[in-house]
Amino acid sequence: MTGHEVRVDNRWAARGRLRKVSAVIAAVALMVWVGGAMVSAAPIGAPVRAPAGGYEELWVPSGMGPVKVQVQWAARGGSSALYVLDGLRAPHDHSQWTSDTDVLQRFAGDNVTLVFPVGGHSSFYADWYRPSSTNGQVNTYKWETFLTEELPAFLAGYGVSRTNNAIVGASMGGGAALTLAAHHRDQFKFAGSFSGFVNPTFPMWNEAVRAAMWDEGRYNVDDMWGPVGDPAWRRNDPTVQAELLRGLPIYVSAGNGVPGVPDVPYWFGDTVNAMGLEAMAMTATRIFGDRVAALGIPARVEIVNGTHTWPYWEQAIATARPMILDALGVN
């Protein structure tokens, strides 16, 4: 190749650069594929709008490291969201709500984004004092920070509201849902607890929490909320914090501990355990109901048939669904 051949007229170089820039702009302006449907990029300065329908798995940065979040986008691109919290045995790779209930199908036609944080095993979705000292945990759980600061900020980039959200949970996640809603009223417009332990400061129940967390991963409750009497226990007790829930639409339910048809597929020993756990949840739910009634706080509190198992929580979220949609103003 000669020197003559590599010389390029400045006008042609400029045109070449223009073509490259145009190609980049075209690529950015091209649409991204979401579930096989092409979505236009929003014009600069236009409000961000959530994807319309479909399912996606996101990795969200946090102080705990990247957190997986399963999302089913609002059917028509609405901005409201429903946060759905797992139980004590929360798996590391998916939310049990997505594998053990029909919640994805039930809300598929609704204009609300479902948000399933993955993980939180034995965490009570709280901000802990330090890592658990009894099982080699490295990072300190900071789930409240994640659910009320880091995750909403991340989802806002997809057009999901920071303020028009609902939150529900089962078992461990039930009490946490009420607690988070109580302390973050600017974020949540509805809260629901299904078979939640909503009164952890009740005498000796702290020991039940301790035993459950030890059994499920050798976690140390003292590293979460400190010893009994530490203010963190009261802060994370929805019954104690009930006044902060005034004016918020609430649905709290628990079973009566009596097994039914949904328990048939389960092993007998599991059913017996589920009966005992639900008896405790029922007692806590009644205490919570008495507390809000004494304060004159409207809340729907129900004791229904059933045990501490997923088929009953599937029924509970179906019952809560019209209340959730109404509270969020979703049509």
State how beta strands 81-85 and 165-170 pair. Answer: parallel
The CA-based angle 184-189-195, given to 5 degrees, is: 85
Asked if 150 is an active-site residue, the reply is: no
Asked if residues 118 and 95 have their Cβ atoms less than 8 Å apart, the reply is: yes
* Pick from 286, 313, 273, 318: nearest CA to 87: 313
Active site residue 171: yes
Give the pair of three-digit tokens for residue 264. 């048939």
Q: Write out the two tokens for 149.
A: 């600061």
Adjacency order of strands within the sheet including 55-60: 55-60, 67-72, 113-117, 81-85, 165-170, 188-194, 250-255, 300-304
> 286: closest CA among 257, 249, 323?
257
| N-to-C CA span, the chain | 68
The values of phi and psi at residue 192, to 5°, are -140, 140
Of 132, 171, 195, 253, catalytic: 171
Catalytic residue check, 308: yes
For residue 149, the 8-state DSSP code is: I
> Which residue in 62, 144, 308, 314 is the catalytic one?
308
Beta-bridge mates of residue 115: 71, 83
Q: Are strands 165-170 and 250-255 parallel, antiparallel or unpaired?
A: unpaired
Please list the helix, strand and coil fractions of the chain in percent, rounded to the nearest 5, in that order.
Answer: 40, 15, 45
Chain position carrying tokens 């059994």: 215
Residue 45 CA from chain centroid, whole number:
30
Residues annotated as catalytic are 171, 278, 308
